[in-house]
Amino acid sequence: MWFGYLNRNYEERLNIPVGPNNGFNGEDMGQAEVFEPRRSRFAFKVVVPANFPKDRDLIWTVTANGVTQKAFGSLWPVWEVDQSTISANRGSRTAIDFDEPPNAPPRVVNPPAKQEVEAGKPLALTLSVEDDEFPRPRVDRGAHVAGLKGAPEERPLNDSLRVSWVQWRGPGVARFEPKVVRVVGGKASTKITFDKPGNYVLRAYAEDASIHTPHDVSVTVR
């Protein structure tokens, strides 16, 4: 079951630890603790047992500023989600070429191990990403019109292939520079700075036309 959230603030960033104010009956099922402003669709998934009752809801309950909200996951067929549903709702590409094979999510290969860094010092992270090269890259007509130099293969034509970073858990604030990174040559790099010590989880979404694969990196900040 996929879950996401809408933080109705435009500015306030909420940090709600897993527990009585953030959980599935208080349980940790991998949900977010950090709620960025506005919407995060299909942020995480919960795998339920094969014998999960079809008439039962899985309920994520979050309490913030004295208000309790609930998100309901169910196995009703009308709510079935596939890759096309995710792509259309996350907004990058809704049209498909019917002569192309189905688009598979990118893959994070050789993921980085647990990291350590001092507060206030940047941590450099690089993800290696493999993709099936679908959807096909768009024609870079703008480069020819503007007279830009450089061979076409030197420019990342498929700008839908990227890595988007978010802070998933942690007591302080993790700042990414940049937060969204194009994948060039199979690599995507960013730098993260933490404002206070603690244990953090950073979530990277390897994305291709809004089809995405989440990957977590744990960081201990001294």
Nearest by Cα to 4 from 89, 82, 93:
89
Domains and CATH numbers, the chain: 1-81 (no CATH), 103-222 (2.60.40.10)
Average pLDDT, consecutive stretches of 10 residues, N- to C-terminus, the chain (222 residues): 94 95 94 96 95 95 96 92 83 60 86 96 97 69 47 50 96 97 95 98 91 94 98
Instruction: Read off the amino acid at residue 156.
Output: P
In 104-189, where does DSSP find H-type helix?
141-146
Nearest by Cα to 192 from 109, 108, 117, 110:
117
pTM of the shown model: 0.85
Quote the pLDDT of residue 129. Answer: 96
Quote the pLDDT of residue 209. Answer: 76
Quote the pLDDT of residue 2. Answer: 95
